[in-house]
Amino acid sequence: MDWTVYWFMLPVCVAVASVAMFSGISGAALLTPVFLIGFPLLDVPTLTAVQAIGSALFLETFGFGSGVVGYTRRRLPDYRLVRKVVVVTVPLAIVGALLAKEAPASTLKAIYGLVMFGVAAVLVAEARRERRSPSVHVQRPAVTPPKPAPRRLSDNARDTGGIRTVTAADGSTYCYRPHGERGTRALSGLGAFLAGLISTGVGEATMPNLVRRIRMPVAVAAATSTLVVAATVTGAALTHLVLLALDGGLSAIPWDLVVWAVPGAVAGAQIGARLQGRFDEARTNLFFGALFTAVGAAFLLSFTVFASTFSTG
């Protein structure tokens, strides 16, 4: 095993995890094309479709796990909603992972390409809505508040007269009137199933709905979505890795890739958490809408017209 062959994944994962964390986009959505399209072009050892999906989810676990630490320190997530969503998303992600093992590689690749077009459409629609009605639901104290006393994680969100108030560690308060939680759980569940099946979907299904359906402030939505994604992809990633190990032993897991990619994912997630809120949301969504449209087209072409070049099993 050549432990240096995937050295370039260190900077790649720093960039991917940074972007994923501040935007709410699934890191696996960006990594899977790197594995299945980039590796053959770079003439490095390729991965099978299931290896690529499992590896992308595994790395996303580290990236979002690191982001969870950053957001929990800032006390931004709505833990109450997180609990309601993950009881739906984690089991469905595991089901998707189990089905991915049985599905033909060509089917998984085709589904991935088509889903990219769907994700792109959602992001463009969100960008247009943001242009029409930007959402800002934050109240900041006039003076620097004293350091808050330690409290349980669930204590940062309070409901008063139908208004939920999330109090961050710096004393900032974010107020919104939650509704549509049932629909959000359903959409996040669908995204979780796709995440287990093809490595992407839960972040893209969760973040826009927290902002538009639940009407969360973007900072709270990004933090809440990060916790949901982290829990969901952990379940899916562990399922994929166990299945790979059962089939081919521990050697079936690409450790020479993991050793470079994990530090990059951890470092990038911390960078991305600090960048959250510093970029225009509408422009960010338009950029990723265009990017995922290109990724979807590249995927479908790579595994149809140019199948001989990108056939990895």
6 has a pLDDT exceeding 90: yes
Distance of CA 25 to the CA centre of its chain: 5
Q: What is the largest CA-CA distance in the chain?
A: 64
Average pLDDT over residues 46-64: 86
- The rounded radius of gyration (Å) of the Cα atoms in the chain is 19
Least confident segment among 27-31, 75-79, 242-246, 256-260:
27-31
- CA–CA dist 164, 123 (Å, integer): 26
> pLDDT-derived band of residue 261, with 50, 70 and 90 as boundaries?
very high
What local confidence, expressed as pLDDT, does residue 238 receive? 93
CB contact at 8 A, 92 and 285? no
256 has a pLDDT exceeding 50: yes
What local confidence, expressed as pLDDT, does residue 133 receive? 63
260 has a pLDDT exceeding 90: yes
> pLDDT-derived band of residue 249, with 50, 70 and 90 as boundaries?
confident
Scored b (16 or more CB within 10 A) or e, 163-194 reads ebebbbeeebbbebebeebeebbebbbbbbbb
CB contact at 8 A, 110 and 272? no
The encoded tokens of residue 104 equal 């033909």
Average pLDDT over residues 265-294: 79
Strand ranges across the sheet with 163-167 = 138-139, 173-176, 163-167, 157-160
Average confidence score pLDDT of the chain:
81
136 has a pLDDT exceeding 60: no
What local confidence, expressed as pLDDT, does residue 192 receive? 93
Q: Domain-by-domain residue ranges, the chain? A: 12-132+154-310
> pLDDT-derived band of residue 276, with 50, 70 and 90 as boundaries?
low
Tell me which of 159 and 243 has the higher pLDDT.
243
User: Of the candidates 254, 289, 284, 310, which has an alpha carbon nearest to the alpha carbon of residue 117?
Assistant: 289
Average pLDDT over residues 120-143: 62
What local confidence, expressed as pLDDT, does residue 306 receive? 67
Least confident segment among 24-33, 147-156, 210-219, 272-281:
147-156
What local confidence, expressed as pLDDT, does residue 145 receive? 42
How many percent of the chain have pLDDT more than 70? 85
The DSSP bridge partners found for residue 159 are 164
4 has a pLDDT exceeding 80: yes
The encoded tokens of residue 80 equal 């109450």
Give tens-digit pLDDT for 158-187: 666 678 888 888 888 888 887 778 888 999
Distance of CA 290 to the CA centre of its chain: 18
Q: What is the pTM (predicted TM-score) of this model?
A: 0.78
